[in-house]
Amino acid sequence: MASPFTTAFDKLVDESFKKWHIPGASFAVVHGAETWTKGYGLAQQDPPKAVESNTLFYGASTTKAQLCAAWALYMSSEANQAKPKSEQVTWTTPLADIIRDDFVLSDPVRTLQVTLEDAVSHRTGLPRHEASYGYEGVKTPKEVTRNLRNLYLHNELRTTFEYCNTPFVAASHALETLTGKPLVDYLRETLWSPLGMNDTYGGYGDASAAVEKEGAILAKGTVWSKLPTSVDEADGHLAEEEYMDLSEVSGAGYVISCANDYAKWMRCWLDPSSGPLDDAMIKELWTPRSIVQPNEVYNELFEGLSAYSLGWFVSTYKGHMLYWHTGGLIGGGSYVLLCPDIQFGVTFFANVQDASFKLKGLAIEILDAALGIPEATRTERTLVDQEAVNLYTKIVAKAAGAREKLFPSELEMQKVPLALPLKAYAGTFVNIGYGPLNLTVAQEEDIDVLKCALPGTWRNDLLLQHVNAEHWIVSRSSASNPWRALLRAESKVGSDGKPQAWGVAMEPAMPDILTWFERTT
């Protein structure tokens, strides 16, 4: 295969950048013994700094495969193998056996049943609960793990693929407990240093030290202020996002790296002789554990159903097995795809929201070239781009119809006013699992509402608008992110005539379950 970064490909990148308002991206491709990397566009706007192949980007959830690889290396380590057989850690070891005091779920039976492989294959039964961490008191992997006892379970154990970050955080904390080392140190010792990944870091704190001392460039995340399917999409603007620390999510998504280093990371999977993972480890790590439901976005493009192994999605494409993973955060995204049949891998990083969907078609274009598909007959890139548009169309349609689904009889309701003036409902309310809800009175499109900036990792704003009696509709979004979710809420007035509590459907996967926040002020 010749260099994938042809004039024709550069043109496709330019078209994608214009279509999706992408400031910059970097790519790495490995095929056989060859490696190519290239940067496009800007890593930062002011002052302008071009993307190079060593420009740092957030790897986000592509971290998960690195956590699982580190666990595989620990299991084969002398420290683990020297233990009596009954005490050695394996993928089927219950997490509670490793971190008994910290790993406790709301169901005591489930607590004892969840194994390490359950935690890192999205089959624990926990939903995302993304607003439940990152605030004061739940800002370390240990604290995030200990908070799981305060969160609802959703599905039965090992019955349903349900993407969830927090069990990976618990697995990270368990590895730190066993090794006595911060995860970043163990990853650097067992993976990054042996592979020569010298520009890879764990969290913003680790990366910022390199930025300050060595002059490394960390790409600045951005969000386009309008959804791609909006009629006024062209009137949007590019908003820069603050750097995210992400140390609290640890092995679920905190790695910061570059195209050069991820080329080395991909190669160690395609050619085990080049790195610390052997054939047996790779086979185990790539063995599917969960079947991804047919309606999941992860199945799009690929043949049949996809599965999830240990930190990797597993799919079939044109008769070839693929192992891949997306990564996403506020203002950025990443993607890694491996095709061992042809000793091929492609990765990209970009500094725009939802980049893993917006640029996936370019990764597929490079894969098709490696598979020898003539350029004139390559249609999948266009299909992938359309799938991204379809995804946004579904989001907009879901949001547009959410109010009617949440309150189907609103037009026929007997209108009952609030028991108290709106300002009386402001104040601080706390839930043990989700932390504080600090409500203030605000105006949104000339309507008085209650507003709350959630203090967690994902920086969401809640806008609560009265519907009827003590029932409310909640719009959840971040300040510059056009994504919105509509939820329902209830207020509860006590016998003393004061607001006593708020119930908010904080977990979108469980829209009928209210999380109750009790008043503190």
Is 399 domain-assigned? no
Model confidence at 380: pLDDT above 90: no
Is 436 domain-assigned? yes
What is the model's pLDDT at position 482? 57
CATH number at residue 456: 2.40.128.600
pLDDT confidence tier of residue 459, bands split at 50, 70 and 90: confident
Model confidence at 257: pLDDT above 90: yes
Instruction: State the chain's mean pLDDT as an integer.
Output: 93
Pick 408 or 196 by higher pLDDT. Answer: 196
pLDDT tens track for 15-59 = 999 999 999 999 999 999 999 999 999 999 989 999 999 999 999
Contacts 24+ apart (CB under 8 A), 406-415: 406/473, 406/486, 406/487, 406/488, 406/511, 407/467, 407/468, 407/471, 407/473, 407/488, 410/467, 410/468, 413/468, 415/468
* Percent of the chain that is helix, strand, coil (3-state, to 5): 35, 25, 40
Name, in order, each residue with C-beta under 8 angstroms of 94's C-beta and a sequence gap of 6 or more.
112, 113, 114, 115, 116
Contact indicator for 13, 22 with CB cutoff of 8 Å:
no
pTM of the model: 0.95
Model confidence at 354: pLDDT above 60: yes
Is 490 domain-assigned? yes
Model confidence at 173: pLDDT above 70: yes
Residue 439: which domain range? 410-519
pLDDT tens track for 290-322 = 999 887 776 677 888 899 999 999 999 999 999
Is 158 domain-assigned? no
Contact indicator for 516, 500 with CB cutoff of 8 Å:
no
Q: What domain count does the chain have?
A: 1
Is 422 domain-assigned? yes
What is the model's pLDDT at position 483? 61
Proportion of the chain above pLDDT 70, given as a percent: 98
Is 453 domain-assigned? yes
Model confidence at 198: pLDDT above 70: yes
Is 495 domain-assigned? yes
* Helices 380-406/7-20 angle, 10° precision: 10
What is the model's pLDDT at position 480? 52
Model confidence at 406: pLDDT above 70: yes
Model confidence at 443: pLDDT above 60: yes
Phi, psi of 221 (to 5 degrees): -70, 150
Is 2 domain-assigned? no
Least confident of 184-193, 219-228, 363-372: 219-228
